[in-house]
Structure 1
Amino acid sequence: MRRITGECHPCSRLKGTLGVVGYNATRGFGGITAKVPTRGRTGVGDAIARIDE
């Protein structure tokens, strides 16, 4: 199970990796930050669920 901890917007670290053009292409898109409390593989397409505590 993965626990979403917040939103992740494009930042200056991405700009340093992709350059200005790459960074500008990602603006308006982002992802999430999450905790994975159990060991295992996580991949594209894995199901996630919101857990309100």
Structure 2
Amino acid sequence: MDLFDGELGGRDYHGLDTGGGWSWCGVITVGVFILLGVLITWVFGLVGRIL
């Protein structure tokens, strides 16, 4: 089963694909981590200006 596969059953084939694709689950996960990194950087910058 692929970690970033949005379907519950995973992928039925195990062959190699050329190029591969992203599922919506993978796109949303990466987007959340990017937004979390931006938010943490912004918060630390704000705290650094206050102190």
* TM-score (norm: length of structure 1): 0.21
Greater relative contact order (Cα < 8 A, sep 6+): 1
- In terms of fraction of residues, the more strand-rich structure is 1
Task: Select the structure of larger CA radius of gyration.
Answer: 2
Q: Structure 2 length as normaliser, TM-score?
A: 0.22
Structure with the larger helix share: 2
